[in-house]
Amino acid sequence: MEGGPGTARIPSAGTRPQDSPGQELLTPQLETMLLWLTLALLWSSSCWAGQTYGPGGGWYFSTSKDNANEITGIRVCIGAVGIVKSIQVRYGSSWSERYGVAGGTCQEFLLQPGEHITAVYGSYRLFLRYLLIYTDQNNWTVFGENGGRNFFALPDGSEKVLTGIFGQYKLLGISSIGFEWDYPLVEVTTVQPFSAST
Per-residue confidence (pLDDT) for residue 54, from 0 to 100: 97
Task: Judge contact between 146 and 130, C-beta under 8 A.
Answer: yes
Q: Which residues of the chain, if any, have pLDDT below 70?
A: 1-26, 29-49, 187-198
> How many angstroms from the chain centroid is the CA of residue 115?
21
What pLDDT digit, counting tens, does each position of 69-84 carry?
A: 999 999 999 999 999 9
Angle at 39 between CA 99 and CA 162, to 5 degrees: 40
What's the burial of 194, exposed, middle or buried (CB within 10 Å: 0-12/13-18/19+)?
Answer: exposed
Task: Judge contact between 25 and 11, C-beta under 8 A.
Answer: yes
Per-residue confidence (pLDDT) for residue 65, from 0 to 100: 80
Per-residue confidence (pLDDT) for residue 47, from 0 to 100: 43
Rounded to two decimals, the pTM is 0.71
| C-alpha to C-alpha distance for 48 and 98, rounded to whole angstroms | 21
| C-alpha to C-alpha distance for 11 and 78, rounded to whole angstroms | 58
